[in-house]
A and B are shown apart, each in its own frame.
Chain A
């Protein structure tokens, strides 16, 4: 369960997110859509505090995950990021072997038990629907994989540390249609076990993979409802215009 209460976010003097109140249910997929620069990626990065590093960034309001405010002084950011995994726009595997890529999160979180790591790597690759393609070449470089495989590797890498939430920032925008379809299938399976928040530019993709959709514009949450309702009968005119491709 993710909840934001009166969230405002600033980059210096730029007001990027304006008073957003939103609740996201566990074990479901939520799509964030909206035109470029509408604040949806910024909003996504609030939940694993990846905005922290940006100089001049400022947050007002509260973000709660599973009953905990994640912006207190006592929040352990590394533990938060273990619980809230992230998949980026472009596949970004490390220049290491396939095995080491998946094992990375476990190792930086202090796990040394070799047998456990091996087991976890297999489980994660299986969950990311990549195991059968790579099980014979776990020691090969991750760069030998195709773009789509690399992205699934990045998903496996995020799953390995047993998160409950997966943030995906346009995870298929750099991929070909076949790889995109595979990622979408994967999201369908994963949302039964994980909460998935996905930013996408692709309206059909939002319609296909998500249970709920949130439409952002100029930093404001314009409309948030069940995906079916949103795409069949949106309440607001802006949503209607955006979905039907009249702008954006």
Chain B
């Protein structure tokens, strides 16, 4: 009896371990594949110059800049808004109909396909509000896309702050806003940053929402204002892989672009982790 139990356990363990390795293997394989195919085109020139020769030569600088602008723009829009709505639902109202509505809507928002966000952004920001294809229209669209993530992670982060902190602060004569600003938010901040990390990954990788709102097929110059169009890495990758002038010739550049995109996401994530660690140390 004991013997069979032990054997069962060992089999289960082996299966789990193999599956673990499988997942790791797939990830490493994808990463290795992109590095192997893309590393040859990476150079200072590739990173810091515009595409040339019908996108079969030159670099991807405008797309890198564009993606950076979109990351910054969308987080600047979604974070204050998302954090404030989460504060409202967690700190101010417990469970009234409005909070329930906001919760249901956020959950629904999170499950809408990104192309729908793209079409919505085009209708509202590009046409109705007249921003045209622009950084601002793209940032707002991407911002809407990550809003549910921001709200959910902030809500969880706020709920994780012990109630005794709030009581202690109230007992010292602090009002609600002071308590939130001075105790609750600083305590929740490292976990809110987790939402930032997730969102940045999402924003830098999405193609559909920027397709009709900001992304330029080919635009070798840098934007001058938030009302200019930009190139962006994921869309550039899509163009290189499907509709360039010479897809075969552009293939190494496509892999190089993918590599840079992955690198930027990793870079932003590590930055967020560093900020998070810094804040946790202050505790």
Which A residues are within 8 Å of any B CB, using their own CB?
48, 50, 53, 78-79, 81-82, 85-86, 88, 90, 92-96, 104-105, 107-109, 141, 143, 154, 157-158, 161
Contact = CB atoms under 8 A, between A and B. Distances in A.
Interface residues of B, number: 19
B174 A95 contact: no
A78 B164 contact: no
Contacts of A48: 171
Given A88-B164, A108-B178, A143-B283, A94 B171 contact: no
B168 A94 contact: yes
Most B CB atoms within 10 A — which of A53, A108, A109, A161? A108
A56 B168 CA distance: 22
B283 A88 contact: no
Contacts of B244: none
The 9 closest A-B pairs by CB, nearest first: A92-B164, A105-B172, A108-B174, A86-B171, A95-B283, A81-B173, A78-B173, A82-B173, A92-B168
Given A50-B167, A88-B164, A92-B168, A109 B173 contact: yes
Interface stretch (B82-90, B116-124, B182-190): B182-190
Contacts of B282: 95-96, 141
Contacts of B52: none
B189 to A, nearest CB: 10
B162 interface: yes
B172 A88 contact: no
Contacts of B168: 88, 92-94, 154, 157
Given A88-B164, A92-B164, A95-B283, A50 B171 contact: yes
B125 to A, nearest CB: 40
Given A94-B183, A104-B182, A108-B182, A161 B164 contact: no
Contact of A88 (B167, B175, B178): B167
Given A92-B165, A104-B182, A141 B283 contact: yes
B169 interface: yes
Contacts of A86: 171
Contact of B186 (A95, A107, A109, A141): A95
